[in-house]
Chains A and B, each alone.
Chain A
Amino acid sequence: MENLVQIALQNVNMAAILPSLILTCFGMGLLLINVFLPRGTTRHAVWISLIGIVVTGFFIVTAWGQPQYGFNDAVAMDNFAAFFSIIFLFAAGLSILMSDEYLTREGYPVSEYYPMVLFATAGAMWMASGTDMMTIFLGLEVMSVALYVLAGFFRGQIRSNEAGLKYFLLGAFSTGFLLYGMALIYGVTGSTKLTEIGIYLNAHGALLENPMTLAGLILLSIGFLFKIAAAPFHMWTPDVYEGAPTPITAFMSAGPKAAAFAAFLRIMEYCFFSLKPEWTAILWVLAVLTMIVGNVIAISQTNIKRMLAYSSIAHAGYALIGMVAANEIGYSGILFYMLAYTFMNVGAFAVLVLAGKKGEDNLTLEGFSGFGYKRPFLGVALAIFLFSLMGLPPTAGFAGKFYIFAGAIKAGYIWLAVIGVLNSAVSLYYYLRVMVYMYFRDPAEDYAWVSMPATVVISIVIAIIGVFYLGIIPGDVMEYAKLAIF
């Protein structure tokens, strides 16, 4: 019996899961505390969960550069995971900052909301740090289940229900494919540990011709492509983003997307590096398809939240270019891009949170007429985020795009890069159109000065700082992104 314990303990390395551990602890603690917290407000929960996030962040930062492995290669808290974890934390933190205001406005001041976000974040971290298919899979599920709940969080709102339900059904469906893929890979290699799989595949060249490997690879990818929202697995995105509570949309568009990229990258690089030609060929097509679908459909959107959803599809496409490039620059480009995207997109959604009225019927282009004059600060902020999404210097978006395209061009995918830039040219149109309404139209109704809750403003300001910091002096962060590549 005791030898069993020894066997168990010798693999245990708490440092490898410390961040997610802290986060989950805070989550569970919060669940308990909620019982005693006054109903009808969630302020305290906000601060507690923020503290949790900050603490976690602190531990991640301090652990930078000392990769931790443990649990018998089930998890590896290396720079790669750390970098992504930081992204998740930013996404979570910023969306939590804007949540309180939002929940109160929409009439659902339910504190369970925050633990859910924290759990989702933890799940994302496990995805990023998992080196065993089981860890990744379970992390994915923790994240997804939490997100199903959060997407459908406003029980009384039909759109929220619908978002939750669609997300759930499709998510579960894609899980089926993911699992089947994992099963086949397991069958081919006899292991679920990424490294072992990789070594095994590399050692037995014959396997590369084995159709089962390829089938596994594809079915596996689908699970992640679904979460990334790459065409043709993107169709849930607009509906869910539109229906879900805005802060959750913000979080979903940044955190889970990044998590999926993290897991996808890790699996592709650890397991299938010997199959690179095959999967880059596929991803090339998908990247192009995704960019085109996202950008083109976004043009005819009138609801800004939905438009941003399509734009996030497009951005997934840009990021995929980095994977197609499949060289160091491309990969670290993805890391950097995800961070940049977190700032600009979450920031944009934060503005929407303040711009929206109850039920968010006014988040249409028309509703934004003269917005820049009604709410000068928000107007400028949104403009900045949109320019960053366009990829105009000196903003994070530009630095990110540059990084990724540089990777693609270095790898010789000139035409992919050209298609990419042409797509961002198309995207200019719909971003600009928002600004047309914000500044080139006069306000529809007369407006009074509206006081802005500090928390949301803070998140916006942080996002702005992030956008410009990553845009003007991206050197350091790019360096980190470089170090984060395995």
Chain B
Amino acid sequence: MEIILFYLVALVAVISGYLVIRCKSPVNSALGLVNTFFCLAIYYVMLHAPFMAAIQIMVYAGAIMVLILFVIMLLNLGTEARQRYTHGVVWSAIASLLVLVNVVYFLKRGRVTGAEGDITPFKIETLGHTELIGKTMFTEFLLPFEIASILLLVAIVGAVVLAKREV
């Protein structure tokens, strides 16, 4: 039952991913991307990470994609002009295929061997995912969290400096 769902979602995700990289119009690509995000969110749920799923929707589908779409509208970009330089699409295809092959090769040969933690699905059920995340983040990963805040600050200021019309 679950496996079917998995493949279904996978199919959707891949197709919408395909849309992202093939659609002529950026808007369509954007929509395809949103679609992918949703599929991933579903996966997150299946992986006992409901909180991540939520953020996935909020941050990505909500914030980032809106921003992107906004920019697309702002610059009202139609379908992109046909390519003027030979980028060797073939090469690109080969390259990315090779990447895929590599990764898959590693996955087939490789083993996930990390040390088992104690955060069992059961624990998640009982304690609640959000709290777990929160705990870990504010105890173990306090510093990265802070740094992330600086990062966002930099991004904001930078965006302002760059996009502002006049000094």
Contact of A190 among B116, B135, B150 (CB under 8 A): B116
- Name B114-167 residues within 8 Å CB distance of A: 114-117, 135, 138-144, 147-148, 150-151, 153-155, 157-158, 160-162, 167
Per-position binary interface string of chain B over residues 98-111, scored 1 when its CB falls under 8 Å from any chain A CB and 0 otherwise = 00001101110111
With contact pairs A135-B144, A142-B147, A210-B110 given, residues A115 and B117 touching in the complex (Cβ less than 8 Å): no
C-alpha spacing A200/B113, complex, angstroms:
10
B-contacting 9-mer, from A147-155, A258-266, A302-310, A327-335: A147-155
Contact of B161 among A7, A134, A153, A210 (CB under 8 A): A153
Contact of A4 among B109, B112, B138, B158 (CB under 8 A): B138
Contacts of B153 in A (CB 8 A): 28, 119
C-alpha spacing A383/B160, complex, angstroms:
40
B-contacting 9-mer, from A46-54, A69-77, A81-89, A422-430: A69-77
State the Cβ distance, B111 to closest chain A Cβ, in Å: 6
With contact pairs A116-B157, A153-B161, A184-B106 given, residues A132 and B117 touching in the complex (Cβ less than 8 Å): no
C-alpha spacing A75/B140, complex, angstroms:
11
C-alpha spacing A75/B103, complex, angstroms:
31
State the Cβ distance, B148 to closest chain A Cβ, in Å: 6
Q: Are A4 and B147 closer than 8 Å at their CB atoms?
A: no
C-alpha spacing A155/B161, complex, angstroms:
9
C-alpha spacing A146/B157, complex, angstroms:
9
Q: Are B139 and A146 closer than 8 Å at their CB atoms?
A: no
Does A141 interact with chain B (Cβ within 8 Å)? yes
Q: Are A119 and B112 closer than 8 Å at their CB atoms?
A: no
Does A207 interact with chain B (Cβ within 8 Å)? yes
Contacts of B112 in A (CB 8 A): 187-188, 212
Q: Are B147 and A148 closer than 8 Å at their CB atoms?
A: no
C-alpha spacing A164/B158, complex, angstroms:
12
Number of A-B contacts (CB under 8 A): 128
Contacts of B135 in A (CB 8 A): 4, 7
Contact of A187 among B114, B117, B139, B167 (CB under 8 A): B114
Q: Are B110 and A215 closer than 8 Å at their CB atoms?
A: yes
C-alpha spacing A126/B167, complex, angstroms:
31
Contacts of B141 in A (CB 8 A): 72, 74, 132, 134
A side interface size, CB within 8 A: 57
Q: Are B110 and A74 closer than 8 Å at their CB atoms?
A: no
Contacts of A148 in B (CB 8 A): 158
Consensus secondary structure, chain A interface: helix
Q: Are B142 and A71 closer than 8 Å at their CB atoms?
A: yes
With contact pairs A134-B141, A211-B106, A215-B102 given, residues A149 and B154 touching in the complex (Cβ less than 8 Å): yes
Contacts of A206 in B (CB 8 A): 113
Contacts of B103 in A (CB 8 A): 215
State the Cβ distance, A454 to closest chain B Cβ, in Å: 25
Does A179 interact with chain B (Cβ within 8 Å)? no
Q: Are A145 and B158 closer than 8 Å at their CB atoms?
A: yes
Does A275 interact with chain B (Cβ within 8 Å)? no
Name the residue on B nearest A24 (C-beta).
Answer: B150
Contact of B158 among A135, A146, A191, A210 (CB under 8 A): A146
With contact pairs A116-B157, A145-B158 given, residues A72 and B144 touching in the complex (Cβ less than 8 Å): no
With contact pairs A110-B161, A115-B157, A187-B112 given, residues A212 and B107 touching in the complex (Cβ less than 8 Å): yes
With contact pairs A142-B150, A215-B102 given, residues A207 and B158 touching in the complex (Cβ less than 8 Å): no
Name the residue on A nearest B141 (C-beta).
Answer: A134
Q: Are A17 and B114 closer than 8 Å at their CB atoms?
A: no
State the Cβ distance, B156 to closest chain A Cβ, in Å: 10
- Name A113-137 residues within 8 Å CB distance of B: 115-116, 119, 122-123, 126, 132, 134-135
State the Cβ distance, B25 to closest chain A Cβ, in Å: 20
State the Cβ distance, A369 to closest chain B Cβ, in Å: 35
Does A8 interact with chain B (Cβ within 8 Å)? yes
- Name A30-45 residues within 8 Å CB distance of B: 31, 39
Q: Are B162 and A152 closer than 8 Å at their CB atoms?
A: yes
Q: Are A74 and B161 closer than 8 Å at their CB atoms?
A: no
State the Cβ distance, B140 to closest chain A Cβ, in Å: 5
Q: Are B142 and A12 closer than 8 Å at their CB atoms?
A: yes
Q: Are A135 and B150 closer than 8 Å at their CB atoms?
A: no
Q: Are A212 and B161 closer than 8 Å at their CB atoms?
A: no
Q: Are A75 and B158 closer than 8 Å at their CB atoms?
A: no
C-alpha spacing A32/B113, complex, angstroms:
49
State the Cβ distance, B16 to closest chain A Cβ, in Å: 19
State the Cβ distance, A102 to closest chain B Cβ, in Å: 16
Q: Are B154 and A146 closer than 8 Å at their CB atoms?
A: yes
Contacts of A108 in B (CB 8 A): 167
Q: Are A72 and B140 closer than 8 Å at their CB atoms?
A: yes
Q: Are A119 and B150 closer than 8 Å at their CB atoms?
A: yes
Does A360 interact with chain B (Cβ within 8 Å)? no
Contact of A71 among B105, B143, B155 (CB under 8 A): B143
Q: Are A190 and B147 closer than 8 Å at their CB atoms?
A: no
Name the residue on A nearest B161 (C-beta).
Answer: A112
Return 8 A-B CB contacts under 8 Å, by A number: A112-B161, A141-B151, A152-B162, A153-B161, A187-B112, A189-B113, A200-B114, A211-B110
Q: List chain B positions with a Cβ less than 8 A from chain A.
A: 102-103, 105-107, 109-117, 135, 138-144, 147-148, 150-151, 153-155, 157-158, 160-162, 167
Known A138-B147, A155-B162, A212-B112; further 18 A-B contacts with Cβ < 8 A: A4-B139, A8-B138, A31-B157, A72-B140, A72-B141, A75-B143, A108-B167, A109-B167, A110-B167, A141-B151, A149-B158, A184-B110, A187-B112, A188-B113, A188-B114, A191-B114, A206-B113, A215-B102
